[in-house]
A and B are shown apart, each in its own frame.
Chain A
Amino acid sequence: MKKFLALVLAALMVLSAVSALAESEKNIPELTTEPMTILLWDIATEGVGRTAQEDAVNRFMADYPNIHVEQIHKQNDTYKQDLQVGFSAKEGQPDMYIHWGGGPMAEYYKSGCVNDITELFNTYDHPDFIDAAVAQSTYDGKVLAIPFGGLSGCDIFYNKAIFDELGIEVPQTIAELEAACDKIKEAGYYPFSLANLPRWTGSMYYMYLVARHSGNAEFDAAYDGTGSFTSPAFIYAGEKIQDWVNKGYFNDGFNSMAPDNNDDRALLIQGAAAMMLHGSWQVAGIKNDDEEFYNDNLGVFRFPIDEEAQAAGVPQDVEIGTAIGNGFSFNCWLDAEHTQVDEEKLKACYVLATQYYNDETYNAIQVEGGNTPSIKGYENVDDPNNKVVIDVFFSASNVQLWYDQYLPASVTEVHKDMMGALFGLEKTPEEVGQAQDAAMAAARAE
């Protein structure tokens, strides 16, 4: 018996030695032994994000005692402004900073504040990110960011109790969704809970209706100028939304309600509203707010399909959301004019972002907190609601990043204004499209 145990132990030791060997064979750049300071900006002011990210930085500093990482937590709501002010000065710019990809990432890159890491990315180890995440970290064929925040889909959350009470099945098509809304409205509930003050929430309806009606085709065309924001899918989306507003599908006063205060979520939890189209972070949010409601009453389904469009051959698999959540870009240079790359520091940042953020310890904390890393192999989650979101995400052929992050910053602002006006019935879908076209044309001209 003892012998056997010893054998097992020995075997285990060999195994661990092998795995240690495998680990030491990791293909990562060798870092300097000189003292170095990395200035890192993030928005991890609270919660799981903060725990996971501070832990990653501490583990990095323990392994590389000569490198000090100064981790600054900025406030989310003023972060973009802070970054811009930070980049306005010659000194004191962050060496490594979080962003959401899309238009602003391109702007930072064009302004000389992002290192091109294509070579590092192709030479050295990094987590096996899902394709959509790599795509969203790439601009102009260059890899510019390392994802680390986990993916977020966008789906409809619903109150099962109300659906059961009214005998409603989960709608598969937009027509069925409208029928369900009519029934819900008649029973005295709000069909949808919406807090549209920041406008990106209303934008979710617009993006999905466009995507269901035309796949990616019309949006891509409107984006590169070969099409227009007044093309049929956009008009369809605008008209549907205004029709839904007129029919009272949304809660009263939605245009002045803020999702940051969780008022939209509250309407769902209170049982005043039956559904809510929202980002998948709401899974953790609702669970955290009211676990009882979450376990008994909460369900999730995907935005229904457009039957007519499907019959015409339009793909119905577009998922709105973000595959990277947050990404880190690097800003390591030897001179103030950003002409010479500080290779040593860049390597250190790369190792930190790929091997400490995004490693198993980090990802375990992320998963615990309800986030899903955008890395292959994390498709399998236990939580039934989260599973719906994730399954949809991993099976979606393409992920359309939120318009308000994808578009250039100047167009984003117009888009958001227009979402307020569209839902507020102050502008027609046609006018909404024209305003976005004009902004897009101006941005392209730059």
Chain B
Amino acid sequence: MNKIINPQREKTKSRIAWTVAITLAVIWVVVTVGPFIFMVVNSFRDKKMMGRQGVLHFPDPWYFQNYPDVISNGFFGYFFRSLFIVSISLILMLIISSFAAYPLARMKFKLRGFLYAGIVAMMSVPMHVTLIPVYQMTNQMGLINNLFSLLGPYVAFALPMSVFILTGFMMTIPSEMEEAARIDGCNKYNMFFRIILPLSKAGLSTLAIYNAVGMWNEFAFANTFLNDIRVKTLPLALGAFKGEHSQDTPLILTVLTLSALPTVVMFIIFQDKLVKGMMAGAVKG
């Protein structure tokens, strides 16, 4: 008798739970959005007024000149170069890492354990260590001041983490699905494209987001390889507003706001894929 659930009480309980959850959710929105607003609001401030007004008050008056200033300073050049190199790097990285994760997750072969451990080890390579050797290589290849010099480092540095995550994702794919496909006459190569890749969509979108943000904001390699103003990427655009003794903070925030926009848009598009990703495939199977 005790075990019979009282639907009325359950409903009240659940309503309370939801109210609490939504309140917390809204508080968390303040925590995450507040700073974003800070960034945007301060991009509408006149640098000269910053000293007097501080940064935590609304600008008075609102100053709109920063945006035309940034845009006339070649912003779109920086922007499209970044877009170009990040897109290519990202696509290449996703292809190569899913290629690598497949055998690591779904095949038995001799060096599997060793390669997997090696990839985990590669995750622990600190980036600054590679700066000098990679610079020397890039120099020898004659790629200094060439946008494509970033391709190798961007793909390579995203690989270990991506392979690691994707391997984890692919391991959770039920082996029955593979069995079924094998009976249908799929070989190892078809299997990857027909079964494994579609089922890894959720993992791939996570990785796309994770790495796109990293590459989009990458500074150290770009700063080292690209000297010519005609090939510089977006994070280097900030340099034009930093002097030896001071920087133009509102202009920097303007650049940062403008550079964050595409990643926001991209997330809005991709986040939907995150949910659909695997479910669609799994239900069919």
Contacts and interface: CB of A to CB of B under 8 A. Distances in A.
13 contacts: A46-B241, A46-B242, A85-B131, A85-B132, A85-B135, A88-B132, A88-B135, A91-B139, A260-B245, A260-B246, A270-B51, A281-B244, A289-B47
Contacts of A73: 229, 239
B245 A259 contact: yes
A370 to B, nearest CB: 11
Interface stretch (A220-228, A261-269, A373-381, A425-433): A261-269
A78 interface: yes
A248 interface: no
A279 B244 CA distance: 12
A49 B243 contact: yes
Contacts of B247: 260-261
A149 to B, nearest CB: 9
Interface residues of B, number: 31
A196 to B, nearest CB: 15
B132 A269 contact: no
Nearest to A75: B239
Nearest to B243: A46
Contacts of A76: 242-244
Given A259-B245, A281-B245, 10 more contacts: A45-B239, A45-B241, A45-B243, A49-B243, A82-B224, A85-B131, A85-B132, A89-B136, A90-B139, A270-B52
Contacts of A265: 51
Interface residues of A, number: 33
A45 B242 contact: yes
Contacts of B52: 266, 269-270, 290
A43 B244 contact: yes
Given A92-B139, A281-B245, A289 B236 contact: no
B16 interface: no
Interface string B35-66: 00000000000011011101000000000000
A252 B241 CA distance: 28
A49 B240 CA distance: 12
A74 interface: yes
A85 B224 contact: yes
Nearest to B131: A85
Contacts of B224: 82, 85
B252 to A, nearest CB: 10
Interface string B222-241: 01100111000000101111
Contacts of B51: 262, 265-266, 269-270, 289-290
A82 B223 contact: yes
A380 B139 CA distance: 48
A269 to B, nearest CB: 5
A187 interface: no
Leading 3 A-B pairs by shortest Cβ distance: A266-B51, A75-B239, A89-B139
Given A85-B132, A89-B139, A279 B245 contact: yes
A262 B246 CA distance: 6
Nearest to A100: B244
A45 B240 contact: yes
A46 B240 contact: yes
A72 interface: yes
A313 interface: no
A331 to B, nearest CB: 16
Contacts, number: 82
A78 B131 CA distance: 13
Contacts of A288: 48
A85 B136 CA distance: 9
Contact of A290 (B48, B246, B249): B48
Nearest to A77: B242
A89 B140 CA distance: 9
Contacts of B94: none
B144 interface: yes
Nearest to A260: B247
B77 to A, nearest CB: 16
A240 to B, nearest CB: 26
A75 B245 contact: no
Nearest to B137: A89
Contacts of B54: 266
Contact of A88 (B136, B228, B236): B136
A315 interface: no
A47 interface: yes
Interface string B128-169: 000110011001100010000000000000000000000000
Contacts of A72: 227-228
Contacts of B135: 85, 88-89
B144 A92 contact: yes
Contacts of A281: 244-245
A74 B242 contact: no
A82 B48 CA distance: 31
Contacts of A49: 243-244
A281 B245 CA distance: 8
Nearest to B236: A75
B134 to A, nearest CB: 10
Interface in B239-284: 239-249
A88 B144 CA distance: 14
A104 interface: no
A74 B223 CA distance: 8
B173 to A, nearest CB: 44
A266 B50 contact: yes
A262 B240 contact: no
A224 to B, nearest CB: 30
A166 B202 CA distance: 68
A127 interface: no
